[in-house]
Structure 1
Amino acid sequence: MNDLTEHYNQLFETSAKTITAGKYSIDLELKNQSDSRFGITLLIRPNEEIKANIEHFIHELKKVEPEQYFYPDSDIHITVMSIISCSENFTLNQISPKEYIEIICRSLVDVDKIKIHYKGVTASPSALMIQGFPRDETLNNLRNKLRENFKNSGLQQSMDTRYSIFTAHSTIMRFQEKLHNPKKLIEIAQKFRDYDFGEFDVKNLELVYNDWYQRKSTTKVLGDFGLR
């Protein structure tokens, strides 16, 4: 938890300086209609109450930066594991989803409750995120099981190739245009820096075939795993 707090803090401090100085990054792929980067992800979706709290924050951001990309309710998620990272070279017909579902089921055998507390906001040079904190080690243990089981399976996967995932954040805004007022944007983020968005018990995990931004319109649910 402390490591995660430290990670989010450093990320915010560095990114806030970068954004305020106008050195932020614009994601040019957001408006690219022919973006064909797809992958497979195991994810968690927050409950309705949390999404309503996040919407309150998004509403504030939209007042200052209405032209940016905001995640709709349907697309907000926490990545448990990016099993096959999004790329132009991957299509669903390359794999048998059933084999992936079997490994996930096996990895979930001893998993009890996963609780996530959404508290505060952090940033990257191109996005704003809600900070998620798992209540205990259950999520990390599951990730380690998935790593082990997939690596031993011989199935196509690219886990941890970009970075080894250990956070539980949700991206809610990406920069797709020049910012009108970077300083004001960071001021709003600061206002929500320790805001309590709520805590929830994860009821299920979804295995999805998805584009880079997890847009509902292009997402295909491959498996749904209920947690007890």
Structure 2
Amino acid sequence: MNLQEHYSQLYTKSSKAILEGNSKVDNQINDASDSRFGITLLIRPNDEVKAKIQLFLNELRAIDSKQYYYPNSDIHITVMSIISCYEGFTLAKIKTEEYIEIIQKSLLDVDKIKIELKGITASPSAIMIQGFPTDESMNNLRNTLRENFKKSTLQQSIDSRYAIATAHSTVVRFQEKLENPEKLIAVTEKFRDCNFGEFTVTKLELVYNDWYQRESKTISLADFYL
């Protein structure tokens, strides 16, 4: 996949929808009864990158404070959604140590992963930071995870919704009708090619998480150091 082309097409289509008043509101963000949980292998950008992301979010917040803005604690890049969030999933349904074992096995031959976060893309319901792995290390890891989990008998839903190929980070979700779509898109245009920084991945995290990866609802299952 050509990531730049993919992100650009998504931004063009989604920004048009937003400007035409066709953005989508996520009505479940503040639903206390939301019981969608899953397990995810993820990466967190370093503090320097997250500080630059917050500068962008501050500009968006200044024109529309009613949307859901990710705090630094929740900003992440998904390596693999191993069990996609679904209603009623709990850790009692799996043996966590078996998942950890497969991930450790999958990481044996992984080289250093470097990711550049540069530019903005969007969907009709969210705004994302574009992520670009600098080589094939992340794709190789994802393919190894796919192969090893599919050989196992463990519950998993890898690629059930779509085959993950990007390295984006969702940083805004629309939880209310947009107050001023034109101003919002003006800010995203300003940051469209902003370089948020490059970082080397030193740690991957396996977590039990809700749909939004909120720290308050996340349980850390294991850390894997590269």
Task: Measure, in 1, the Cα distance between the counterparts of 2:186 and 2:160.
Answer: 34
Task: Measure, in 2, the Cα distance between the counterparts of 1:24 and 1:160.
Answer: 26
Q: TM-score with structure 2 length normalisation?
A: 0.99
Task: Measure, in 2, the Cα distance between the counterparts of 1:148 and 1:97.
Answer: 19
Look up the equivalent residue of 1:46 and give its one-letter code. Answer: P
Which residue of 2 is the match for residue 183 of structure 1? 182
CA deviations over 1:83-120 (Å, ceiling 9, x no partner)? 00000131110001100000000000000100000000
Which residue of 2 is the match for residue 118 of structure 1? 117
Q: How many residues align?
A: 226
- DSSP-derived class of the 1:31 partner: coil
Which residue of 1 is the match for residue 79 of structure 2? 80
CA deviations over 1:39-72 (Å, ceiling 9, x no partner)? 0000000000000000100000000110100000
Pairing 1:31–2:26 present:
no
- DSSP-derived class of the 1:23 partner: coil
Runs of 4+ aligned residues of structure 1 deviating over 3 Å after TM superposition are none
Look up the equivalent residue of 2:129 and give its one-letter code. Answer: I
Look up the equivalent residue of 1:160 and give its one-letter code. Answer: D
- DSSP-derived class of the 1:186 partner: helix
CA deviations over 1:119-139 (Å, ceiling 9, x no partner)? 000000000000000000000
Look up the equivalent residue of 1:58 and give its one-letter code. Answer: L
CA deviations over 1:176-222 (Å, ceiling 9, x no partner)? 00111011101100100000000000010000000000000010000
Q: TM-score with structure 1 length normalisation?
A: 0.98
Pairing 1:174–2:173 present:
yes
Uncovered stretches (5+) of structure 1, i.e. residues with no partner:
none
Task: Measure, in 2, the Cα distance between the counterparts of 1:18 and 1:76.
Answer: 25
TM-align CA RMSD: 0.7
Task: Measure, in 1, the Cα distance between the counterparts of 2:122 and 2:64.
Answer: 15
Which residue of 1 is the match for residue 19 of structure 2? 20
Which residue of 2 is the match for residue 68 of structure 1? 67
Aligned counterparts, 1:1-228, within 5 A: 3-227=2-226
Identity %: 65
Task: Measure, in 2, the Cα distance between the counterparts of 1:23 and 1:55.
Answer: 26
Look up the equivalent residue of 2:106 and give its one-letter code. Answer: S
- DSSP-derived class of the 2:116 partner: strand
Task: Measure, in 2, the Cα distance between the counterparts of 1:185 and 1:86.
Answer: 29
